[in-house]
Amino acid sequence: MQTLNVDLANRSYPIHIGRHLLTDANLILPHLKRKHVAIVTNTTVAPLYLDQLTQTLQAAGVSVIPIILPDGEAYKNTETLNKIYDVLLQNRCERSTTLIALGGGVIGDLTGYAAATYLRGVPFIQIPTTLLSQVDSSVGGKTGINHPLGKNMIGAFYQPQVVLADIDTLKTLPARELSAGMAEVIKYGLIRDAEFFDWLEAHIEPLMALDENAISEAIYRSCRNKAEVVARDEHETGERALLNLGHTFGHAIENAMGYGVWLHGEAVAAGTMMAADLSQRMGWLNAAEVARIHALLTKARLPLDAPKLSADKYLDLMQMDKKVADGKIRLVLQQGIGKSVITSDYDADKLRATLSL
């Protein structure tokens, strides 16, 4: 097992990465206020891992309440959030009850937001079961739900007590979900870690085959990159926004196509290529660098051609992005492999050209 820390003073917490973590109650017990938890999961993950985690905790004397939600991005909304509140209230859960998110990014975001708001704040633990959630959404305290007009527009920054990334759970991950997670892994190399990008190019085949050593290293290096950024900018007032490479375009794709039609990582991959295209038009990336990005995302089996929407439609959807400031769309663009910038200083005609591809 490897462990690293997210350094946020009195809100700091460890990230444990390894195998058989769901069977080790000692990784969870120190983070409970009392031995009473509610495990929030979904209809896909519950048959795979809910019993295992429940038995681990019950054997350690922990009382467990299961909350099983429907699966999918389409359910990341107020109605599903209220299902969590309903069970917590029906069971008279107190502020000493810890919520455990067992699932992918949707479950993590919903559970974290429920924890931030139920009784004005109860502890929660992240146990991500997808690659995307292990390297991205479980780390950093972003929680929330979608709104019909925009993705993740309602939420709170609320940090977990601990993150357990059990790589054994990736063995049951569908191939499409594995690829979606790789989009976020590749992102870290692009925005701030050129050496990691080189490593990914050299190891993409074993990664896609879920080689234990390769996938553990990729998760560790991704989490280390994110932890460093979050420690410096917890509430995304500056540097942390760089983690949204491809997301402004990608969220527009998800919204336009209907939440869940494109997986988040798939939309981010297409959005990353749109960002690379605009960066090249701005003279910040050369053709060889764009080709490297395209080749790596292709080897990760990701869709790279964005839906054919009008430039006006894209721009309208992108205006709902959280990075919009003073009415201007701010984008994360590339100034080289491993170097990114968040800016509204781009040529509007060149952006339209990218959106019209």
Burial of 319 (0-12, 13-18, 19+ CB in 10 A): middle
pLDDT digits (tens, 9 = 90+) for 103-124: 999 999 999 999 999 999 999 9
For 209, phi and psi rounded to 5 degrees?
Answer: -90, 5
Please tell me whether the overall predicted TM-score, pTM, comes out greater than 0.85 for this model.
yes
Q: For 2-172, give the CATH class.
A: alpha beta
Average pLDDT, rounded, for the chain: 96
pLDDT digits (tens, 9 = 90+) for 233-289: 999 989 999 999 999 999 999 999 999 999 999 999 999 999 999 999 999 999 999
- Sorted by sequence, the CB contacts under 8 Å of residue 10 that are 6+ apart come out as none
Domain 175-355 has CATH 1.20.1090.10: yes
Closest CA to 28 of 51, 61, 2, 6: 61
Amino acid identity for residue 231 in this structure: A
Query: How far, in Å, CA of 301 to CA of 244, rounded?
Result: 21
pLDDT-derived band at 322 (thresholds 50, 70, 90) equals confident
- Domains of the chain, residue spans: 2-172, 175-355
Q: What is the pLDDT of residue 74?
A: 93
Closest CA to 92 of 113, 125, 122: 122
Strands 98-103, 63-69: pairing is unpaired
Report whether pLDDT(134) > 90.
yes
Q: What is the pLDDT of residue 258?
A: 93
Q: Give the CA-trace dihedral at 198, 204, 205, 211, to 10 degrees.
A: 110
Q: Which residues are marked as active site?
A: 120, 142, 184, 226, 236, 240, 244, 247, 251, 264
| Coil, helix or strand at residue 73 | helix
Tokens representing 354 are 């990218």
- Sorted by sequence, the CB contacts under 8 Å of residue 325 that are 6+ apart come out as 344
Report whether pLDDT(326) > 90.
no
Tokens representing 350 are 């060149």
